[in-house]
Amino acid sequence: MQTVPADILHAPVTGRNLRPGTLGDQLGDRPTLLAFLRHFGCPFCKETVTELKRITAEDPAYPPVLFVSQCAEKETAEFFAPRWDGARVVCDPDKTLYYAMGLRRGGLGQIMGLRVWACSLRALRKGHMMTVPVGDPWLMPGAFVVAGGRVLWAHNFEHQGDLPDWTKIPQVVHQSARVPDPTPTPDTVAT
C-alpha cells in the first residue's frame, strides 16, 4: 500500500481555511480526499472544484476534501473566493507536494490530445471555459484518498480531462474500512 512520503506529511503547510501545522495535521487520521489541481485557467480544475462543492453539500457522509494548489495564497484566494470560499486548500507554488506524490508534467497527448478535446466539450457544457493559465499548464492533476498517511485509493489521470467519478469516493472509503491495514504493528511482527 502506498503511503504519503513522511517528509511531506510532516512538512508545515500554508493556504486557505487550514489549521496551523503540517500536511498530516490537515489530513488527520480519517479518510480525506486529497485533490491536486491543475492551473487556475483550466476548465477541468474549475469543473473539479464545482463538482466537489456540489457533491459534498449533497452528501454529509462525503469525506473531507483537501485541495492542493500549485499557486501562491493570493492567486488561490482569487480563484476559490467565488467558487468555494470555505474550501480547505494547501498552497504549493514550489510543487513539492505534487512531485512527492508522483505527479509530473504531461506529454502533448495528455494535454492536447483528442480525448482532451472531447472532455473540454463536457466542461464547456457545464459552463467551464479555458481562461489565462495561472500556474503550470503542463502539470497533471492528482486525486488520492488518504487516511493516517496511507493512500487508500488513487486515480491515475490518463490525460488532463480524465476526471474520476467523484460520487464513488464514499464507496472507496467504505471498502477501505473493511480491508485490514497490512502495515505490521508491534503485536504482529514475529520475533
Q: Is residue 13 a part of any domain in this protein?
A: yes
How many CA atoms within 13 Å lie on the side-chain side of 30?
8
The mean of the pLDDT values for the chain is: 87
How many CA atoms within 13 Å lie on the side-chain side of 53?
16
Cβ atoms of residues 183 and 1 within 8 Å: yes
Three-state secondary-structure class, residue 107:
coil
Q: Is residue 135 a part of any domain in this protein?
A: yes
Number of residues that this document lists for the chain = 191
Cβ atoms of residues 151 and 4 within 8 Å: yes
C-alpha distances in angstroms, 15 versus 9, 87, 121, 183? 15, 10, 31, 31
> Which tops the pLDDT comparison, 185 or 100?
100
Please give the helix or strand (H or E) that residue 43 lies within, else none.
helix 43-58
CA–CA separation, 155 and 142 (whole Å): 7
Q: How many domains does the chain have?
A: 1
Q: Is residue 76 a part of any domain in this protein?
A: yes
Per-residue pLDDT tens digits for 83-137: 999 999 999 999 999 999 999 988 787 787 777 767 777 777 887 777 777 889 9
pLDDT at 189: 35
Can you tell me which residue has the cell 466542461?
123
Q: Is residue 85 a part of any domain in this protein?
A: yes
Check pLDDT > 70 for residue 144: yes
Per-residue pLDDT tens digits for 30-48: 999 999 999 898 888 999 9
Cβ atoms of residues 126 and 14 within 8 Å: no
Residue 184's pLDDT band, with cuts at 50, 70 and 90, is very low
Q: Is residue 145 a part of any domain in this protein?
A: yes
CA–CA separation, 151 and 113 (whole Å): 29
Range of the domain at 141: 6-174
How far from chain centre, in Å, is Cα 6? 18
Q: What is the CATH number of the domain that holds 119?
A: 3.40.30.10
Q: Is residue 1 a part of any domain in this protein?
A: no
CA–CA separation, 191 and 189 (whole Å): 6
CA–CA separation, 115 and 117 (whole Å): 5
Q: Is residue 191 a part of any domain in this protein?
A: no
